[in-house]
Amino acid sequence: MSRIAVVTGASSGIGKATAALLAEHGYQVIGTSRNPDTIPADARVAGVEYRALDLTDKASIDSFRTGLDRVDVLVNNAGESQAGPLTDLPDTAIDRLFQLNVLGPIALTRALLPGMRERGYGRVVMVGSMLASFPMPYRSSYAATKAALRNFATAARFEESPFGVWLTTVEPGQTNTGLWERRTRYLTENSVHTTDFTTFMEILDAKQTKGIAPEKVAALIRTAIEADRPRSLYAIGNNAPLMFTARRLLPRTIMERLIARTHGISR
């Protein structure tokens, strides 16, 4: 019997590549989009069943989860990328980001965990971001959501792993999905941060176009799913092995300065 996998945000980027890879390897894949009907025919993956899910809408989450029978694998991939100085972010933008990147995926995870536990098998992959491990200026809200998602998983894996259910986090670095074009950005008029924010975003956007292919992240997500005992954290892109080693060896303040400097901010 093939495993049933739900991949949220399967209409593009990392979610689409993951849905395609899992379908290719024999999983029955349910991919989500806010508007599945609008996914162009050439962007659909053969073998993936598309269903509607808006993680900012509690009714949509309820309706999606009640329509699910068995789920063996959940890939919490859908997300929004957001940038802006902390003081310039509107409350509504922060609320939406936490709903989409944290509260929605956690509601879905909580709904599916008991069934996985009863069946003695489950895999939940949080698609985080290396920004959670290496926070950068002007990405406070986004880094905070990804750190929150990772910590839900890291803590709960101790609760669920005795039942064969493993929660894990995959942190991609810059991935070339076109996400930078969809990133929401906030800067108030005459903000004191205008110069640094503008420089930072130009460098960030340029780096993202040179990011790794989403298929590489999808391959790591599959590795995490298929491990007997998935690790709590996987990372790929942005020289991940070097970055995590440097973080262990260097004082935190030096690491923070290095990251800011590589994005045009020197203080």
Ligand X SMILES: NC(=O)c1ccc[n+]([C@@H]2O[C@H](COP(=O)([O-])OP(=O)(O)OC[C@H]3O[C@@H](n4cnc5c(N)ncnc54)[C@H](OP(=O)(O)O)[C@@H]3O)[C@@H](O)[C@H]2O)c1
CB atoms within 10 A of CB 164: 13
Q: Smaller CB distance to ligand X: residue 28 or 208?
A: 208
DSSP strands (E only) in 211-261: 233-236
Give residue 65's region: left, alpha or beta (phi > 0; psi -120 to 50). alpha
- Residue 151 CB, nearest approach to ligand X (Å): 16
Q: Smaller CB distance to ligand X: residue 211 or 230?
A: 211
CB of 255 closer than 8 Å to CB of 261: no
Q: Smaller CB distance to ligand X: residue 15 or 137?
A: 15
Which tokens in the block code for residue 222? 């599959």
Q: Smaller CB distance to ligand X: residue 1 or 244?
A: 244
* Rounded Cα distance, 39 and 171, in Å: 26
Among candidate residues 138, 142, 186, 234, the one labeled active-site is 142
Adjacent-strand bridge partners of 100: none
- Residue 224 CB, nearest approach to ligand X (Å): 14
Residue type, 252: R
- Residue 198 CB, nearest approach to ligand X (Å): 20
* Rounded Cα distance, 12 and 235, in Å: 20
- Residue 223 CB, nearest approach to ligand X (Å): 16
Q: Smaller CB distance to ligand X: residue 140 or 174?
A: 174
Q: Active site includes 27? A: no
- Residue 251 CB, nearest approach to ligand X (Å): 25
Q: Which residue is nearest to ligand X (CB)?
A: 13
The footprint of ligand X (CB under 6 A) covers 8-15, 33-34, 53-56, 77-81, 100, 127, 129, 172, 174-175, 177, 179, 182, 208, 211, 214
Contacts for 23 with CB less than 8 Å, ≥ 6 apart: 29, 45, 46, 47, 48
* Rounded Cα distance, 193 and 146, in Å: 23
**Alpha-helix runs per DSSP H in the chain:** 13-24, 58-66, 91-98, 104-119, 130-133, 140-160, 179-182, 194-209, 214-226, 240-249, 252-261
The catalytic site residues sit at 142
